Structure 1
């Protein structure tokens, strides 16, 4: 877990893309990312429900599968912590045991509501969130485990309230703050008023939607930039097109020929490390067989 702390303390903004299973984690690792983000919103879509329907154990199980094949530091979208202050003890214990390097906890009602996906927030009193953060800090066994406190209140009650909450959450012991801006230009005000370390999240359109360079964000105290959706949106579009093509009797737009399909399968074999597994079999159960 200390690796994530080191990366967050560097002179460069750390970018963590969404992953939602072991294969996507391996692909992100291949691409060179140094941190990964297991996002609740996208995981809810993967299960054809919403983030509000996900359980702690489902996310922990996904984390275990990812960590079993990829050692890149993994950040957990911990939604509302799956309960009140008392529940945070188990949330933190399971998150650490699963190998997560950090958890993001937001100040919304638990259980979370699906209306969050259409911009309607249900913020709990700041005092309740402060208690949850304090318990999360007290519950962690590894001081390198990073606790990120999130508030979306700028979207409904205004930026001043969100900044007030951010200050309170930092005093409660949060290692990093994520104040979701209503407008991208508010990110500058958040950085100037709160200072770092801060997390930022692209809300569609990738880094171009932020309106600032990674250097500018870093200068304002942002240390972590998360893309919580782009890989899933790309995968969804590709799979939707594939199924529709198959149903219509048309060629898949990506694997249109046997040669293209074979090449993609070779890439998959490389990503999952098939040759390593085959080598083990050659030296053991397949040894001496013609």
Structure 2
């Protein structure tokens, strides 16, 4: 499947009437598992990118090159369309333009550009935002950097929980006016906040983590929420599994006594062993 076909699938989700849950993905294997299980979309978050690539917390240490290389590996492994958290675009508006170019050629179906001040300012413990004007400039730069018009670009803000609901609405309306394809919100805690945002804007909405009272997909769909994230449990589960397995081995457990390991059948399916053997027969003359 071409990159454009993947991007058109994401656009169909945004232009539809349902609200879906994406699968949190972070590497080639998680991409294939999400696709095999039937997820329509993957989400590659900034925090999991930092964990998967650096083993570091989400404090804006990962570089654009490192992120783009991981996106490229994931794109190669599966045709599942996925949305990439591009953070603040790795700098000012000109850096944002470069970020879009790199992630587009790496195969992302869509990406988010946020207005958080990153990296954090010296001596400031609270999350801060860039000005609305600078945020608008970044959205314009993202659109200018797009070569494939089917690439989805989402303007993202966490202003609801950082400054105010009114500021979040003002930013959303300004970003919408630049021509972005959708709006991504984090920090929304109540239905009344989402209702106000939906009433003030017209673009499809992507929602970050939200409380239980906002888990009703029908309600979310009625407020134009087309994608609702559920956090990043898969990488947390993988971390625990690796920890438990290594701990057991270190304490003397025999490999044959380990529990919870992937079966040979599952491993073969995820690694596409049948297809690889077929290519080996056809292209290398190998007999299996």
- Could you state the TM-score of these two structures normalised by the residue count of structure 2? 0.87
1:84 to 88, 92, 97: 92
Tell me whether 1:218 sits opposite 2:224 in the alignment. Answer: no
Instruction: Give the structure 1 partner of residue 24 of structure 2.
Output: 18
TM superposition shift of 1:98: 0.9
Instruction: Give the structure 2 partner of residue 282 of structure 1.
Output: 281
Using a 3 Å threshold, how does the CA distance of structure 1 residues 115 and 280 change in structure 2: closer, same or farther?
Answer: farther
| Contact 1:56–1:91 (8 Å) recurs in 2 | yes
Which sections of structure 1, spanning at least 5 residues, go unmatched?
Answer: none
Instruction: Give the structure 2 partner of residue 55 of structure 1.
Output: 63
Tell me whether 1:129 sits opposite 2:129 in the alignment. Answer: no
| Contact 2:185–2:208 (8 Å) recurs in 1 | no
Tell me whether 1:179 sits opposite 2:185 in the alignment. Answer: yes
Pairs aligned (count)? 279
Q: For 2:271 and 2:177, how far apart are their aligned partners in 1?
A: 43
| Larger CA deviation: 178-187 vs 42-51 | 178-187
| Larger CA deviation: 139-148 vs 122-131 | 139-148
Correspondence list, 1:221-232, <5 A: 221-232=224-235
TM superposition shift of 1:111: 3.4
CA deviation profile, 1:39-74 (whole Å, cap 9, x unmatched): 111121222113311111111111111111211112
Correspondence list, 1:64-83, <5 A: 64-83=72-91
Which sections of structure 2, spanning at least 5 residues, go unmatched?
Answer: 1-6
TM superposition shift of 1:157: 1.4
Tell me whether 1:28 sits opposite 2:27 in the alignment. Answer: no
Tell me whether 1:200 sits opposite 2:203 in the alignment. Answer: no
TM superposition shift of 1:181: 2.6
- Could you state the TM-score of these two structures normalised by the residue count of structure 1? 0.87
Q: Runs in 1 of length 4+ with deviation above 6 angstroms?
A: 113-116, 251-254
Instruction: Give the structure 1 partner of residue 115 of structure 2.
Output: 107
Instruction: Give the structure 1 partner of residue 271 of structure 2.
Output: 272
TM superposition shift of 1:110: 3.5
2:48 to 34, 42, 46: 42
| Contact 2:17–2:224 (8 Å) recurs in 1 | no
Instruction: Give the structure 2 partner of residue 160 of structure 1.
Output: 166
Q: For 2:255 and 2:158, how far apart are their aligned partners in 1?
A: 40
| Larger CA deviation: 240-249 vs 121-130 | 240-249
Q: For 2:137 and 2:257, how far apart are their aligned partners in 1?
A: 50
TM superposition shift of 1:210: 5.0
Instruction: Give the structure 2 partner of residue 240 of structure 1.
Output: 243
TM superposition shift of 1:142: 1.8
Q: For 2:93 and 2:258, how far apart are their aligned partners in 1?
A: 50
| Larger CA deviation: 163-172 vs 25-34 | 163-172
Q: For 1:151 and 1:110, how far apart are their aligned partners in 2?
A: 13
Using a 3 Å threshold, how does the CA distance of structure 1 residues 7 and 234 change in structure 2: closer, same or farther?
Answer: same
Using a 3 Å threshold, how does the CA distance of structure 1 residues 190 and 114 change in structure 2: closer, same or farther?
Answer: farther
| Contact 2:173–2:201 (8 Å) recurs in 1 | yes
Tell me whether 1:209 sits opposite 2:212 in the alignment. Answer: yes
